[in-house]
A and B are shown apart, each in its own frame.
Chain A
């Protein structure tokens, strides 16, 4: 059965959180998992007005992520949460929390780097590879449903297949 977890993307503004979050969302959907994405854009569009401060937006993202996670729906969050304290509070609250730090190697006065991120990626690196690293980590942490059968045929199986193909006239 699908386990809920929150995949929280952290990084300075413009560090590529959303692009990578969308890549991970797409891959999870392709593999048949239920997942919801709360990007900055989606949060601003559906859960905020012009007056909503960034702090409140982050708080809402955390609350929604918590509700989804506890109902076994994986949720991906890619919001500009500059303060480490806010993020740590969300981590404490949710528990099943995996943080991805998009480290674009710039020092920003406003952005507080995470001390403990389960995954650190270079946003300049290949997006697919970053996506695989993230999902592999999530998998190792036990959050992904059971996968597929062994990908290689055993010798026995190969013999069976060879005979089959021979019978079918292909070889």
Chain B
């Protein structure tokens, strides 16, 4: 049975990999030339959680029942839960492979803490509290993984919001090198399906995008960090080359990312916007910029509120649903239309409309489980992020309220697939939901009918 190796690069961007720097990435280029490659349309919303799990289950966020890292547990104002591995109720690709006695090595796939049993070895990803808890399955594999990493396997960089860019860069490089080294050493165990996800690409995009992208308002030609992202992609390419050197011709190789990246223009203070529109009222006017806490809100006079993040989740305060709901149930439809119209009219600091899109979960998902946001909002179609803070003097913020961050996520990630002797369907853009069916088809496992994507292998 032919083995399959997948190298996941969180946030890897098609424009950088397939256009700008292809000639500097000879190993990635060799994979592109020996198979298919294209854009990979991410989930709605295009963020790490739920994107990687959607990829590994071929189920959309509505079917999975989580819409980001933190989700409302119920319709109270405060109860939230973290979507970790315990929140996943759908079968992953390694569940199906294990059932067929096909073993997997899974290194750092997001949302795999706590690690669950499988046939093979699992190393959990960032959002593992520390290495003092069980972070591998089987538990005994932990020391093996540390050794494979050349000492101490690094799950994630300690503080990527830091202003000390040099230190951050060093940490990202160290983490990446150790992860690739661990992957190469663990490949020797001979599992059938081998997948790793490197988070460094995402970390470096967020921290250094402004220095690379000539369109960013803070770009300075000749800055010492101008080529940091490019150099990092080149380093990744070399590490990938070392992986490819180990593989025989019979092993097929895929590269994927969960979403892409683009310049972040700035942040819209979404709750300040709702205050201005008379949809949200605070008990007291804040004297300075601060995080919005639920006990600051006058719920009697509030009809909706929003969350900060790469996209904005907007929740309605509905009578009979929320504890102190204000929107009558029969008015929800018209209220929604009103809010969408207001959101889509948001303009930048110069008064130019930024092209915001507001989506209703029931329109974009096959099912809506858990507590979905009432609206999923892409401010400026993801050119702008959302800031939940209040007490900002302006709707438009240009220093992130949670620290320096230059890049937002984009809807298209990448897929590259050296598919060997398999027949494939060619397309410019594939779907994140196609990956799990493709993995199963590769191993000759029947693709379950309820997977929503289509195998790339015919």
Contact = CB atoms under 8 A, between A and B. Distances in A.
A164 interface: yes
Given A149-B133, A158-B82, A167-B402, A31 B118 contact: yes
B317 interface: no
Contacts of A167: 159-161, 402-403
Interface string A155-171: 01110110011111111
Given A148-B115, A158-B82, A167-B402, A29 B98 contact: yes
Interface string A20-53: 0000001001111100000000000000000000
Contact of B68 (A146, A156, A170): A170
B120 A151 contact: no
Contacts of A145: 138
A148 B206 contact: no
B400 interface: yes
Interface size class of A (residues with CB under 8 A): 20 to 34
Contacts of A142: none
Contact of A30 (B47, B68, B99, B134): B99
Interface in B235-294: none
Nearest to B140: A146
A29 B126 CA distance: 27
B129 A168 contact: no
A29 B135 CA distance: 21
A26 B119 CA distance: 12
Given A160-B129, A165-B69, A171 B119 contact: no
Given A150-B114, A171-B307, 14 more contacts: A29-B100, A30-B99, A148-B134, A149-B139, A150-B133, A151-B114, A153-B129, A157-B133, A160-B129, A160-B130, A169-B206, A169-B385, A169-B402, A170-B309
Interface of A: 26, 29-33, 145-153, 156-158, 160-161, 164-171
10 contacts: A29-B99, A29-B100, A30-B117, A32-B98, A32-B118, A150-B133, A153-B82, A167-B160, A169-B206, A171-B70
